Structure 1
């Protein structure tokens, strides 16, 4: 039976109302002890990885600077730099994969390659990098720019960036560092290579100062729905995240990514597609829907509408009739996947503008509401339909949202033989079944 891959996406404030529940701990955002507990729960459930998003800007900064605080205090704005968090979690876990987002637009490839190689060493082969080009326009103003780099240009940079990173990761043979006391040889220079990359965007000498990391290369994650995003994912990513609300469309996306990967000379079985889902779990379906309604009632409409704007490239959704469907949205320099998802959710589910805003205020991914058995049914149906290789589960809050998924839904999948009950490998690449690097 096909095993379902599972990663847990932990992002404080992801559901814009759930943090207000009496049993929620909003201090997760800057509380290392809470992150440690979440990692322990994920490893207890034998998940593939714990995953962290990142945005290097407080949302809607232009409006705040202009004196308009409409919807500005978004709880998704407060969180640690995840690459600083992962080493701490590595010391409290032994098998769980640990992945973090880091942008190619506002980083340099040498520093990023070194950072994730270090994480792979610290975790003994469990590190993953989520490659993004950034869609939050406000980030540019924290890095000396007035506006975000154009979409096509940032993907061109990202394509060269990832080639430099992987070249640096490949700069040492596994047995290059010998530390031979008798001969006085610390490393074999014949098994170390200078990259000497000279491209349009970067000049990088190399090599890294960390030697070859345990996995050879940390796992590369990516999410991209645009044409350049799909091309980059198919050429470089081990795992591709996707915003999909329909299994037929999701299967088409997975088939497209796998076909592109094969065109690049890659084994399509080594590219895993994970669908984002927000599980809202109750002991019964009725209780789960009651919880969903309770959390929804805690989201102010103005915050929901304000949250939707940056996802669509700065569109002010207050200008639309709140009770009418979302109109055709203009192309923007922001990420393409959210613009398309906003329109398709409104169209396919018959939602008005305000209902669509509330939908995305609960998180961008598909909501699966019900008992553990009901949620497992949906996950099994998608898996058996070939719609995905697994799921990126985004609990609404900590700790009970995380506990409900890891201690109720995952055991139901395990009872069905759909998810491992023990780890069989030590590295994140082992868990995911993606290409191994010597």
Structure 2
């Protein structure tokens, strides 16, 4: 039996217990955005600590300051002179929102077909259990020192992460950092994530009147706020859907084919929908800025009075290209809004949050070992270097805190994981490949 076959057989024996551990974690509604569930976030951290303490790790729950979300730091030494590998994941999850949109209960893990459904089943409690699986596969003969850092507020912007990294710098310092919070190119095709867009979110308010007035008395002379904010939002794109905010930076993307049928299936596009913007699909998704309107405060249609609305607000989500900075993006967006607000309306732009983009030069020994581990775990399939249109701002924090470390961004998700949405699900066969790949990665780093 070859080494890879032996690992697969061993994982097959371990999988029932690993599944049980994952399902126990999914049952904990550790929604960090909900203050009423702070106790559940704490319970999730304690459960995570227990899992790694049972494997012989020196594990504890830590917070950066009073009110900070609980994280887990655990360590187990490797052979003398061996490198140290930091394994990252997060135990907090997104809100489940409307239960009626779920086909199965969001916090009761349910296997349907080839997936395990539940909030956190993939993002990112499966990342925790993938780390656990690799450690159990390697047993007492860990070829490297392993440090676990399992965060508890990734889904709310990692506010206390910089303080946690600073306070625990000596404990977290590593030669290689594996961040299991991304995904693979497709089911059956592994990937390293090498670029992510940044994020700038702002609330924009326009005011045209001090109070609502009768539309018959004043319509045709005074502009209402909904008309005004609609024109302002429309100024952000040209007729083809290209973003026209001056000064934003974009760049080329990897030469990766994203088939049209996959784009339509994975996006949920309605039949006949036309894509917006220009350039290749992966450029528009990964390496060019993009702006979406994600919220709008306005009276409901049902019951709306026949008056001119005096003020309106919108939330704008600007994805920042990997070659840009959030400071530049915010300045450019604000300048555009100030220039294009119509009819002398009052404009207020309020920064909600921001996170830097990430660009990783994925070359060197650690990346070579990772790619070989992926090839073996996926039966010879060549891994893809891919970008991600979304943002994981904490990666920039790790790159800044540990500039000498090789940072590998991996994960368990696939194009139909539906992270953050209803019916989030983990593809179970892909999860097993991820577990095998991480064990091979740790073994390969030890050999190096």
What TM-score bracket applies, with the shorter chain setting the length? under 0.3
Report the TM-score when normalising by structure 1. 0.26
Which structure has the highest strand share of the two? 2
Query: Whose radius of gyration is greater, 1 or 2?
Result: 2
Report the TM-score when normalising by structure 2. 0.26
Which structure has the highest helix share of the two? 1
